[in-house]
Chains A and B, each alone.
Chain A
Amino acid sequence: MSQPTHPNYPHRHLLGIEGLSRPDIEGLLDRADAAVAISRQVEKKRATLRGRTQINLFFEPSTRTQSSFELAGKRLGADVMNMSVASSSVKKGETLIDTAATLNAMRPDIIVVRHHSAGAVHLLARKVDCSVVNAGDGAHEHPTQALLDALTIRRNKGRIEGLRVAICGDVLHSRVARSNLILLQAMGARVRVIAPSSLLPAGIERFGVEVFTDMRKGLDGCDIVMMLRLQRERMNGSFVPSVKEYFRYFGLDADKLALAAPDALVMHPGPMNRGVEIASDIADGAQSLIREQVEMGVAVRMAVMEALASHLPNA
């Protein structure tokens, strides 16, 4: 997959979509397309990261993202170690720095980090010598998710430019939403956010998006409907009154989806709350790309690590 056709990725880390140029993004998506092909072969193993060590450092449990990164690393030939750090400890942050120093001493080549605090991955990246991939930091960014979403859209629609994309649900707490907002706009999509105001961050109207608090109006004519997960602790009275009310007004069902473009496609970063933000029949329906997103996740992570590999010492 490492054909010279891919432009050089000019950064040492992938900490966020912010700071990436359109050519950076397109280059990663092109690499990812090649990685999809590899992953669909019987022989999936490459030697790009042979002899390299990849550590997945997860301060927040995540089965799917962690396994996606693990598989991506292994398909590129890296030795992959998973470290899940219990987040119950009082001095979480100190653990972060101390753990970073400890891991750094083990001379890894790539560290993949997920942390519950915004900016934690940037902090860690300053303390280690290797490449760092942000696998989600608080409500800040989740760049590989946005890249895999973009890849999924591009492969299904043939383009991103000019598409009308609705991002629906808990935008306030969502790193997926932030990374997607930046990426989709950089690629020329017209982005809307749809949510009750209690789940919208302050100043969202200055992000260059159209804001809707009425899902029926917001979905009108959309090409892509991207649903966000609503955390359980926010469902019952703190941000929205109840699951029942949330689903009624902001859950994606056949009735509301009918208001989008006839060929609209439905996405969700997972894990889904069926019957909360999305109806089961829609999640499993013909317009759903949700399972394909998972496949694209592995490909995008292979692409990212391959791109970073060119910056590793002795590469």
Chain B
Amino acid sequence: MAMTEQAQILTNATLLDPADGREGPGHVLIRDGRIADIAWGAAPGLPEGARTIDCAGHVLAPGLIDMRAFVGEPGAEHRETLASASAAAAAGGVTTLVCMPDTNPVIDGPAIVDFVLRRARDTACVNVLPAAAITKGLAGHEMTEFGLLQEAGAVAFTDGLRAVTHAQVMRRAMTYARDFGALLMQHVEEPDLVGEGVMNEGELASRLGLMGIPREAETMMLERDLRLVRLTGARYHAAMISCADSVEIVRRAKHDGLPVTCGASINNLVLNEGDIGHYRTFCKLSPPLRGEADRQALAAALNEGVIDVVVSDHNPQDVETKRLPFAEAADGALGIETLLGAALRLVRAGDVTLARLLAALSANPGRILGRESGRLAVGAPADLVLIDPDVPYVLDKRTLKSRSKNSPFDEAQMQGAAVLTLVGGRIVHRSADLAGAA
């Protein structure tokens, strides 16, 4: 990959740099895996021997950065490997994924970070950035080696599917993390209040005979954490919020100048509890799908910038964990390959501009994670996605690259897809529909 490559030029695209919202026709020159030149407007002179890809009619933007993906490697390779997750990512226009530490063994020591990075280097076609656990074994008691883990390559700290519930443990983790500038990503959910709950609390759950999860399970954990952020000054990222009240809580914290960012799952942005229908376990998620009013509040918060990041919350599950009665099924849905297509629904619905959306899918996560990628800038890595925002199709889960098939969008009408994905200038996905020279 690192050999001196043939230069490439992506011509006639609509360029969109979500880092500053600039949008217009232009061309991008790629050399040695990086963006060598950007010509807004008129075509630049073609360098000798450059390969040309005609991007007419499509939007060229920084590749997506997905801050929350569960990969089964190590430990659950039958559900997903770094190779299969990265293939799914590439097909979805995601050029960087942050993998969660909920593996077996848990990513809670430098050696495992190193293992994941090496496996990714050898088998994955997109950038893989490991998030390490906040507490050893995700057990919620003893903090991990934030310094050594960061040196090994961990980009953030999270207990993944679990919240750090013990207030003292969280306070100390925040206090210590601050000295290392470490980013803590919390799954904001109070498990005691979730109890036996399996979907959003309310009329629908009551009609289905399922126990509910109140919104307060999220808001009380979020509010507690923000108190601790106020106390400690740690960099804090609420991994996924799901309801209108949480939006207000985050808005206030940002207004007060706390070092706080937050994300939302694509599922909570485009689906609601009604999608569970008659016990569809592919829609059993954590946080749960909420009501339509909450979904709309999230979409508005995304457009407003209160929600910084949209994640896929990619969580491959197989029939053994999903083909069960609803309450007994595992949480989680596939998402990384459908992230872009699903997110474009928000643009078409007029909820959010394409620039805003792409900021939440690339520029903002890039900035939060301290990466060079996520923007169209000379010298930045050539991690790029070419988007056809209009192409219609019906999603067929059998065509998904993931090893698992638990997509809530199976058989859904979709519009918009990645037609070309480049990681470090290398083409990792190319739609058959893309015209132009090879």
Contact = CB atoms under 8 A, between A and B. Distances in A.
Interface in B203-256: 203-212, 214
A123 B201 contact: no
Nearest to A119: B279
A96 B328 CA distance: 11
Nearest to A124: B325
Interface residues of A, number: 27
A314 B278 CA distance: 30
Contact of B328 (A18, A92, A139, A206): A92
Nearest to A96: B325
A117 B326 contact: yes
B323 interface: yes
A241 B4 CA distance: 75
Contacts of A120: 325
Interface in B178-207: 201-207
Interface residues of B, number: 23
B206 A138 contact: no
Interface in B321-365: 323-329
Contact of B209 (A91, A96, A175, A203): A175
Interface in A15-30: 18
B433 interface: no
A203 B328 CA distance: 23
B325 A123 contact: yes
A119 B326 contact: yes
A175 B208 CA distance: 10
A140 B328 CA distance: 15
Interface string A105-128: 000000000010111101100000
A206 to B, nearest CB: 5
Nearest to A142: B209
B326 A202 contact: no
B172 to A, nearest CB: 33
A203 B327 contact: no
Contacts of A140: 208-210
Interface string A186-204: 0000000000000001111
A119 B278 contact: yes
Contacts of A118: 208-210, 279, 325-327
B320 interface: yes
A119 B207 CA distance: 11
Interface in A121-149: 122-123, 137-141
23 contacts: A93-B325, A94-B323, A96-B324, A118-B208, A118-B209, A118-B210, A119-B208, A119-B326, A122-B278, A123-B324, A137-B325, A138-B210, A138-B325, A140-B209, A140-B210, A141-B209, A178-B207, A201-B206, A201-B212, A203-B203, A203-B204, A203-B206, A204-B206
